[in-house]
Amino acid sequence: MKITVLCFGIATDLIKKSSLELTLPENCTVTSFKKLLTTQYPELANISAYAVAINERYAQENDTIKENDVIAIIPPVSGG
């Protein structure tokens, strides 16, 4: 199944793209997605943790990604 991935913050710098089109297996969870993404883009291992949103809603690790979903990678943000 095809999905769109949007990258923000340091994720954009590490992947060197602000968006990606990926093909995932059916019934892919957020946890599986993160593992696949890190396999394809090992630079993401430099981020200790990041949130994932599915269609503009924060996702849990066991949420299932569906065909044509838009996934956002949201790294930690700091500042003041």
Across residues 9-33, what is the average pLDDT?
94
* Residue 36, pLDDT above cutoff 90: yes
Domains in the chain: ranges and CATH: 2-74 (3.10.20.30)
**Predicted local distance difference test score (pLDDT) of residue 79:** 61
Token pair in block for residue 7:
């990258």
CA distance 33 to 25: 9
**What pTM was estimated for this model as a whole?**
0.89
Q: pLDDT digit string (tens) for 46-70? A: 887 899 999 999 999 999 999 999 9
**Percentage of the chain surpassing pLDDT 90?**
86
DSSP per residue over 44-73, as a string? Answer: GGGSS--EEEETTEE--TTPBP-TT-EEEE
Across residues 1-26, what is the average pLDDT?
94
